[in-house]
Structure 1
């Protein structure tokens, strides 16, 4: 247990550091540029998100799945990265060929086509970064993983500050700074791990490709659908509203993403741990204890963000004050992603990746329907409600399919907690009276704590028993 806690804390260093650096980016950018300019910057972030979702073709997940079973880790790395790297050539060629139309779609002008070239050039770095971080993470080198995560984010922050001080304060400056910072950080990571990234076709395993493809391809299809789910809210705002609404929405999304501190930390720790526990055939109560604990913890953080949203919004420029009514529903994004990582284990362990396709289709359908209904009338607030609801659907679908094919465990407390958080998010979106909404938030927080009293007792008894054993 001590080793697990130590590993979790070491992963937390990177997650906390990266999250803090990401949060520092918000006041830096919003201080220098207007919501409208920030909205244009978010279109670049949209493209990068889409690339990250699609470019790996599911081979990154297949690499993680095979890591503990395949004996030669370097050969596994070379084999798994080859197809995504070849596919990146096709993507880069397509982006360069259609650079001007892409520029018009993103920024309403073909004068920024050179930015599309720069984004395309950064794709190989994104691939190496993803697989190297996976390699380090699956080896449980938590401290090294954390330090390089911080390094990449710090490089982006330093470049952004430098560019905004010495160059024009527009969205294009931010985009250049973020790409160059990313490439610098990834280059250092690659130099540190040059012995791993050396790829030789002779050192790949042709017999491994079918296995990787069988597991990864369904995930790739699901990921393409999921990528549409991730970006659909921004596209609806872009079409039905303006760049100012998109900028406010992006700022609110960044605030809500503070909960990703826990999501990233937990995911980095949980993926290798869950596979390890499954291999050792750990009892189901261990998986349930982790799932209940993470639901309770992130629900507390969720309510903490709502309680102190006025203070949190002080990090933004006054031009972004309306973002405080947009971000409550967006908090469901990291919450549902984190909790579903503990309830979808049946899909992962039994290698039923095709079920991820149905999960993504369900979430995408909910997102499109609600965005179509709400964004034209309510703008960014409507998009946030649609996004939050879609992520709840994502969690429910993931959990349902997993529990149908796996032994599983009860998630009743998860469902009750989610219902309470939906009430809290709804009231925080429509009620602007500070004292009233504060009382409501405290009452809902108390209800959540009451629900998890049995869990807290179990954790305390476990801690007390182990402490008594260590004393004796």
Structure 2
């Protein structure tokens, strides 16, 4: 993949993260803390419905794309079963009136249920059509699938401000749903050649059966990973309430800036590492890359710990706890990215069940952690539990990979990641009372990291400086 294509795919996560930094504070000033928390329930519902109703056929579509000549027919085979099942479920839930909104928001209103289900349908459509763009290497268009929802949401919220619209839960849900629907419409237009050709294509039921055999088992691992990332919000809603869920969801959204690293790295890493392995260069290069990513992870935690107070300048006073919670919320994107560098042996050996097992064990750890931590520490407890669970996830992926492929030195990996997770946990739970001591801790870890990874930092700085000297046409 060329630097130009990498840059095109990177626009989405970078632009989306920047949009989030504007949208999140705006929403916290305009809408109640409870309604901000309710939006977290909407997001996990949409993500779960998309995961469940795709039936794993989105992954099957990616797997089969380069091996089939009739790509519109492949899209139809992947899209139709889950979409039909989703529509049946939507009609079934609508028969219960406002029950769905009551389950999620404690406000049983039929219009809210309708908006939730509409958003789920729009997200499902966008999921498949964004894959069409991705697999055809339309990087810029694919990036828009991540950027446009936040851009439209920001535009709609801005229109609310100008029009003096009532800042109610219904209007907040309407804004989110409208953004998703607009994105789905744009994708329908930009991929019309593929799906229009797919409508008239004939379904190959034997091929569909094989796709389901490939895709359905992936749902188990997908649900386990969804649970790992969503159980904290579900427990907060049940054990603590929407106010604490609002604080936590804002912290998670700020920490999502780190998903820039996760998204770009995941896009580039997989094809590169498999090429290295085919050339007999796998282990040595994996070790080098894991050191670079470990340096980023450690320095990322340290900088967040030292600078998280800046967040309070942009949020209302009732979100003051976000500055402490956000550091542990970085555990998901940073530790997940680090595990991507060390789990390559699982993919090389084609033993994906081990990835599934790692997700299930980490999910159980998070389940137990949230059960004990949330009643005592509320949003801070949820953040710490999830951070520790992702450290367990990283350790399991790493150990399974080395068991299935080749071992490599991991003392530095485990020691630095452990120290930063412990530091983030203490900072989140007791940072408000410890104060100065925590800042000293982060400075000490930062200095030791700079010394430990001085070679990697020097090479990275040299690379950046060389790139800035190159003409744009060469990139």
TM-score by length of 2: 0.88
CA–CA distance in structure 2, aligned partners of residues 349 and 204 of structure 1: 33
- Spell out the pairing of 1:106-255 with structure 2 (5 A cutoff): 106-110=104-108, 112-163=109-160, 165-166=162-163, 167-198=165-196, 199-200=198-199, 202-255=201-254
Q: 2:309 corresponds to which residue?
A: 310
Q: 1:81 corresponds to which residue?
A: 79
Corresponding pairs, count: 464
CA–CA distance in structure 1, aligned partners of residues 343 and 315 of structure 2: 36
Task: Identify which range, 432-441 or 393-402, moves more after superposition.
Answer: 432-441
Cα offset for 1:331? 0.9
CA–CA distance in structure 2, aligned partners of residues 349 and 205 of structure 1: 31
| Cα deviation code 1:222-275 (max 9, x no counterpart) | 222332332221222122212211111111111222211221222233345455
Q: 1:105 corresponds to which residue?
A: 103
CA–CA distance in structure 1, aligned partners of residues 230 and 465 of structure 2: 47
Contact 1:152 1:186 in 2 (8 A): no
Contact 1:75 1:203 in 2 (8 A): yes
Point out where structure 1 has 5 or more consecutive residues left out of the alignment.
467-472
CA–CA distance in structure 1, aligned partners of residues 442 and 252 of structure 2: 20
Q: 2:470 corresponds to which residue?
A: none
TM-score by length of 1: 0.88
Of 37, 40, 47, the match for 1:39: 37
CA–CA distance in structure 2, aligned partners of residues 140 and 410 of structure 1: 36
Contact 2:115 2:173 in 1 (8 A): no
Contact 1:31 1:316 in 2 (8 A): yes
| Cα deviation code 1:291-330 (max 9, x no counterpart) | 3323322332232222110113322122211111222211
Contact 2:294 2:413 in 1 (8 A): yes
C-alpha RMSD of the superposition: 2.9
CA pair 274-246 structure 1, distance change in 2 beyond 3 A:
same
1:323 aligns with 2:300: no
CA–CA distance in structure 2, aligned partners of residues 296 and 197 of structure 1: 44
Q: 1:267 corresponds to which residue?
A: 266
CA–CA distance in structure 2, aligned partners of residues 464 and 315 of structure 1: 33
- Spell out the pairing of 1:303-452 with structure 2 (5 A cutoff): 303-407=302-406, 409-429=408-428, 430-432=430-432, 434-452=435-453
CA–CA distance in structure 2, aligned partners of residues 18 and 31 of structure 1: 20
Q: 1:11 corresponds to which residue?
A: 9
Cα offset for 1:39? 1.7
CA pair 460-319 structure 1, distance change in 2 beyond 3 A:
closer
Task: Identify which range, 201-210 or 363-372, moves more after superposition.
Answer: 201-210
CA pair 126-464 structure 1, distance change in 2 beyond 3 A:
closer
Match of 1:202, SS state, is coil
| Cα deviation code 1:87-116 (max 9, x no counterpart) | 322332343234433222212231x23222
CA–CA distance in structure 1, aligned partners of residues 156 and 460 of structure 2: 44
Q: 1:470 corresponds to which residue?
A: none
CA pair 449-81 structure 1, distance change in 2 beyond 3 A:
farther
Contact 1:54 1:227 in 2 (8 A): no
Task: Identify which range, 383-392 or 421-430, moves more after superposition.
Answer: 421-430
Task: Identify which range, 128-137 or 240-249, moves more after superposition.
Answer: 128-137
CA–CA distance in structure 1, aligned partners of residues 63 and 345 of structure 2: 13
Cα offset for 1:165? 4.7
CA pair 73-270 structure 1, distance change in 2 beyond 3 A:
farther
CA–CA distance in structure 1, aligned partners of residues 334 and 327 of structure 2: 12
| Cα deviation code 1:408-465 (max 9, x no counterpart) | 6444432222112113203422133554432221111122233334544676899999
Contact 1:59 1:212 in 2 (8 A): yes
CA–CA distance in structure 2, aligned partners of residues 447 and 66 of structure 1: 47
| Cα deviation code 1:41-78 (max 9, x no counterpart) | 22222312322332322222232233344454444333
Contact 1:370 1:386 in 2 (8 A): yes
Q: 1:286 corresponds to which residue?
A: 285
Q: 1:469 corresponds to which residue?
A: none
Task: Identify which range, 354-363 or 173-182, moves more after superposition.
Answer: 354-363
Of 73, 85, 96, the match for 2:94: 96
CA–CA distance in structure 2, aligned partners of residues 464 and 325 of structure 1: 35
CA–CA distance in structure 2, aligned partners of residues 68 and 278 of structure 1: 21
Contact 2:342 2:397 in 1 (8 A): yes
Task: Identify which range, 5-14 or 437-446, moves more after superposition.
Answer: 5-14
CA–CA distance in structure 1, aligned partners of residues 150 and 52 of structure 2: 22
- Spell out the pairing of 1:458-469 with structure 2 (5 A cutoff): none
CA–CA distance in structure 2, aligned partners of residues 306 and 361 of structure 1: 29
Match of 2:167, SS state, is coil
CA–CA distance in structure 1, aligned partners of residues 405 and 462 of structure 2: 29
Of 22, 25, 30, the match for 1:24: 22
CA pair 64-296 structure 1, distance change in 2 beyond 3 A:
farther
CA pair 140-442 structure 1, distance change in 2 beyond 3 A:
farther
